Structure 1
C-alpha cells in the first residue's frame, strides 16, 4: 500500500512503474513556447527579475552581445590583419578572435533559450545591425571580389 506522499505513475510508452514524491506546485519561469512578458530569467538565476528597467537592460545586453559577435567575426577576417605580420601571430590572433566570438554567440543562444520574445528580437536585431555595419557591403571602403 502506498503512503500519502508517494504516487504510482504509469506512462503509456513506458511499461515500468515509478514512484515519485509529490511536491507542492511552484510557478516556473521555463516556458515551452515564446512569450512576451517582462518577468523572465535571462542567462543568470534571478536576472532580470520582475523589474521592467532590468528587463530593458537585459534586452540591451543581449543586443550588444549579438552586435559584438558580428564585430568579432569581422575582426577575425584575414583582410583585417596587417599584411607584413608573422604567420603564427596571424593564426593566434584569428584563433583568439574566433574563440571570443564563439563565446559571445553561445551567450546569445543561451539568452534566446529563455523563450522570451523580446530577447529573441534583441538578438536578431543585434546580429542584423552588426552584420550591416561590420560585414555588409554598404559600409565598406572596397568591394570584395
Structure 2
C-alpha cells in the first residue's frame, strides 16, 4: 500500500522549500494551493497527504500523477474527525477512549487501503477513486458504531 519508511526526518526551518525535500511522505497541513502547476515538478515525495483543504491545486494533480506520486485527497485525510464524532456520539453507550481510537484506526485503515488498492489496480488517482466511492455510499442512519463495522 504505502511505501515503508526506514528513517524519518523533520525539516522545520525550510517552510518554502519543504515540497522539494526528498521524502517518502509529505504532509501539507497549513495552506491551500501549496503545490501548484508551477512547482509540482519540484516535488519528490512518494505520497502527499493533504491535511489542509485543497493543499494541492487541481492543475498540479496531472503533473503529480505522471510522476507516480500518490495524493490523498483532503477529505480522506480529514475523515478521522467525522469518524471520531460518530464513534463518540453515535453509539448506544459511552465508549471507552481505546474503543474510539480503535474505531477510527480500523475505519481509516480500511477506507485508505481500499482506495489505494483500487487506484493501483485501475490506474486512477486516489481522489478519483474516493469520488467514486463517495458517490456509491448508502448511509443507514440507524446503524450504530460498535454494532457492525463499516
TM-score scaled by length of structure 2: 0.29
Structure 1 or 2: more helix by fraction? 1
TM-score scaled by length of structure 1: 0.30
Structure 1 or 2: more strand by fraction? 1
Q: Which has the higher contact order (CA 8 A, sep 6+)?
A: 1
When Rg is computed on C-alpha atoms for both structures, the one with the higher figure is 1
